[in-house]
Amino acid sequence: MNHDTETGSLAPPPAILAPAGNRAAFLAALAAGADAVYCGLKDFSARMAAKNFSLEEMAALTRLAHDRGTKVYITLNTLIKPDELDACGAVIDCLNRQVRPDGIILQDLAVAAMARRAGFGGELHLSTLANVTFPEALGFIRSADSMGIRRVVLPRELSIDEIRQMAEACPDGLDLEAFVHGALCYAVSGRCYWSSYMGGKSGLRGRCVQPCRRRYTQQGRAGRFFSCQDLSIDVLAKVLRTIPKVSVWKIEGRKKGPHYVYYTVKAYQKLRDHAGDAAQRKDALALLEWSLGRTGTHYNFLPQRPQNPVSTETQTGSGYLIGRVKGASDGTYLDSREALLAGDVLRVGYEDDPWHTIVRVGKSVPKKGRLFIRRKGRRIPPKGTPVFLTDRREKALAEMIASLEASLAGIEAPSLPPAAGRVRIPGRALKSLPPQLDLPVGRRLPPRRAKGEAGLWLSAEALKATPKQRFPSIWWWLPPVIWPDEAERWAGMIASVRRRRGRVFVLNAPWQMGLFRDIKAVKLWAGPFCNLANPMAIHAAKTLGFHGCIASPELSAEDYAGLARRSCLPLGIVLSGNWPLCISRVMPPSVSPGKAILSPRGEAAWIERYGENTWVYPNWRLNLAPEKEALIQAGYRLFVTMDEPVPPQVRMKDRPGWWNWKVGLP
């Protein structure tokens, strides 16, 4: 037990929260003794590449877990489109009446609203996709009773000192969840549009195709410049253990197999319960070594010794590196570094390699033994291609899973009730519309906008360069991410704008309201990075105090029309400009800012650093200007153009900037 210095009492140990993307992984989590399991359904999950669960299957598994004292949390953490509210509401209704999980993990404000209206009996947790990144946000979230949030999942980018800052600011009635192990995205969660930009597979919708894992080139150098190692707090977990407000240690990995789930849970149990025992720590590290993840990094956890998670010198393929391809007259083979079991799953190369293939081991292979690889009609992998062990089924684990399967067979599948009816959007859609406004947004005031309204990204430089008389006509934009040690500075800049009679602000996370002393004295718009995409989310934003909303840029033409028909706030849209592929806290060590980075397909991008954030921009602009009249007819009134200085070394490409306007999002 760790000591709570605020109350003088002993705080309970943090719960270990295990991932499960399929039934075997769920049962492996139970076999390992996880305190809780989180998993997604067939719809509305941010890991749609996982197999996930039907409602009927989830109901039976939840009963089994509860019988063993394990909690279950359901991830409904995707962006919800306007035409999905009824289906999502029906899912929440069934969850509440039949599955009865202990909580829902969400990013979309509409999910919280629908859960409350359904009388959901569990807790509501804000996903890391919701981007709660600074201390003042927590007080605002707790004070917003209309949301009913009881837990916040912290971003992976925080150091232990920043986690302490968050914990010290965390009010009663709210607790924190921190990642301790698993895959790292290059981008900040909820601030990545890269996959969506490249073909309608949105990370906010759980369908990311991981373009950051691919090989890129810059000035003749090639490498996986944005591919991260896995987060692994491992022995540093004892430091995290001293923060009582962090009540949950989360393991990432809903696309992983049961072997990974079992090994990581067991490892962090040892690190939590036996921090002072050298033998137990050694055993835990051995378990993590064999959990079949990527090479681990502490990332920013130790602020005095941060580790850049991007390394072109380290393998970032998922799985345990078991060997490298060799050639012989009788075929392609590898000499295995470790013994292989029948049923083991191997991946040859990376997913974007033309010779990439999955191999299932037919019979056991001893350590340093030879395994021949069938080519299955694909290109022959060149010598030196890495081969990774990605999943395995040891006999002992297989027997534990089989035993739990037998117990599950005795639990009768529930008869689920009919789907709920149409979700009623509280309030009324706008009847009278405000005047139309074209709003250019940039890092500095455009010279041709000496008068009239314009948008500026708030910064110390913008404050100095803007004439005092212009402050009231500026829409001041806050950044997509604010980190703990920046929050006080941002609050100071907001106060400076207010002293000069600036009144209109665009917030790019709802929780940025926590930086304002009096939100009634200002006019606040929810910015496009808030990812608001449906009428119920917009109503929730109105309840929080927003005066208008700039819709998520992820939507299709049909979605934008559906949003406008039922919106209770004035709507804006990013009509054109330099929209980023992603926002990251990481500066890749092998990449130079302001110079073209080429993808395998010849697409170009460049990076810029603003404060603590790295912005990655494509070399073509979003452009919905041809559809402006249709958007006006639908009801949109604010039309944003985002301009970013293009480096001289980057050549912009003339290509359609429809993004998802035509293709939509699955």
DSSP alpha helix (H) spans, 41-104: 55-67, 85-94
Residue whose C-alpha is closest to residue 660's, from 94, 292, 196, 174: 196
Shared domain check, 131 and 70: yes
**Rounded to whole angstroms, how far apart are CA atoms 29 and 401?**
9
What is the token pair recorded at 23? 């039934």
- Element spanning 538, H or E: helix 535-544
In 3D space, the residue among 199, 397, 190, 191 whose CA is nearest the CA of residue 290 turns out to be: 397
Summarised one tens digit per residue, pLDDT across range 72-93 is: 999 999 999 999 999 999 999 9
Residue 275 pLDDT more than 90? no
One domain for residues 334 and 449: no
Question: Which candidate, 91, 77, 392, 124, places its Cα nearest to that of 252?
Answer: 77
pLDDT on residue 416: 66
d(CA 210, CA 201): 10
Residue 337 lies in a domain: yes
Q: What's the pLDDT at 449? A: 57
* Inside any domain, residue 517: yes
Which amino acid appears at position 261 of this protein?
V
The torsion angle over the Cα atoms of residues 22, 25, 30 and 36, rounded to 10 degrees, is -70
Are 245 and 145 part of one and the same domain?
yes
CA angle 11/14/20 to nearest 5° reads: 160
User: Is 254 found in the same domain as 105?
Assistant: yes
DSSP code, position 349: S
Residue 302 lies in a domain: no
pLDDT band of residue 596 (cuts 50, 70, 90) is very high
Q: Running DSSP on this structure, what letter comes out for residue 318?
A: S
Q: How many domains does the chain have?
A: 3
The answer to whether residue 430 is domain-embedded is no
Distance CA 439, CA 422 (A): 36
Residue pair 524/546 in contact by the 8 Å Cβ criterion: yes
pTM value is: 0.94
Q: What CATH number is attached to the domain comprising 379?
A: 2.40.30
Residue 59 domain-assigned? yes
Same domain, 534 and 501: yes
Give the whole-angstrom CA distance, residue 277 versus residue 273.
Answer: 9
Residues 143 and 287 in one domain: yes
Instruction: Round to whole Å and give the CA distance between 601 and 618.
Output: 13
Q: Are 420 and 93 in contact (CB under 8 A)?
A: yes
Residue 371: give the domain boundaries: 320-389
Domain check: are 340 and 283 in the same one? no
State the pLDDT confidence band at 417, using cuts at 50, 70 and 90. Answer: low
Query: In this predicted model, what pLDDT tens digit does every residue of 41-69 receive, in sequence order?
Result: 988 876 655 667 889 999 999 999 999 99
344 in Cβ contact with 320 (< 8 Å): no
Is 658 part of a structural domain of the chain?
Answer: no
What value does the mean pLDDT take over residues 152-157?
Answer: 98
Q: What are the tens digits of pLDDT across the range 437-455?
A: 999 999 998 776 567 899 9
Which residues, 6+ apart, have CB-to-CB distance to 288 below 8 Å? 181, 232, 234, 263, 264, 267, 296
Has residue 378 got a pLDDT over 80? no
Measured CA distances, 435 to 452, 524, 526 (Å): 14, 17, 18
Q: What would the two tokens of residue 273 be? A: 């319960």
Q: Among the listed ranges 10-19, 327-336, 532-541, 580-589, which one has the minimum average pLDDT value?
A: 327-336
Q: What is the average pLDDT score of the chain?
A: 92
Q: Is residue 232 part of a domain?
A: yes
Q: Are residues 96 and 43 in the same domain?
A: yes
Element (H, E) at 475: strand 474-477
What is the token pair recorded at 412?
Answer: 């009768």
Last residue of a domain, one of 389, 405, 422: 389
What b/e string do you get for 34-72 counting C-beta neighbours within 10 Å, with b at 16 or more?
A: bbbbbbbbeebbbbbebbbbebebbbbbbbbbeeeebbb
The encoded tokens of residue 231 equal 């987060």
Of the listed ranges 403-417, 418-432, 495-509, 576-590, the least confidently predicted one is 418-432
pLDDT digits (tens, 9 = 90+) for 496-552: 999 999 999 999 999 999 999 999 999 999 999 999 999 999 999 999 999 999 999
Tokens 């692994």: give the residue. 232
Which residues touch 156 (CB under 8 Å, ≥6 apart)? 128, 179, 184, 185, 189, 231, 299
Q: Say whether both 356 and 454 belong to one domain.
A: no
Please name every residue paired with 388 in a beta bridge, in sequence order, or none if there are none. Answer: 321, 347
Q: Is residue 504 classed as helix, strand or coil in its secondary structure?
A: strand
Separation CA 493–CA 497 (nearest Å): 6
| Mean pLDDT computed over 186-204 | 91
| Residues 279 and 332 both lie in one domain | no
Terminal CA-CA length for the chain = 46
Same domain for 500 and 454?
A: yes
Contacts of residue 497, defined as CB under 8 A and 6 or more positions apart, other chains included, come to 458, 463, 471, 476, 505
| Alpha-helical runs (H) found in 274-328 | 278-289
Which has the closest alpha carbon to 481: 199, 132, 110, 158? 132
CA angle 178–167–525, rounded 5-degree value: 85
Burial class (CB in 10 A: 0-12, 13-18, 19+), 612: middle
CA distance 511 to 126: 11
Q: Domain with 45 in it: what CATH number?
A: 3.20.20.70
Give domain status of residue 449, yes or no.
yes
pLDDT band at 328 (very low <50, low <70, confident <90, very high): low
Q: Contact, 365 vs 336, CB < 8 A?
A: yes
> What single DSSP character describes residue 96?
I
- The answer on 367 and 266 residing in a single domain is no
pLDDT at 389 over 60: yes
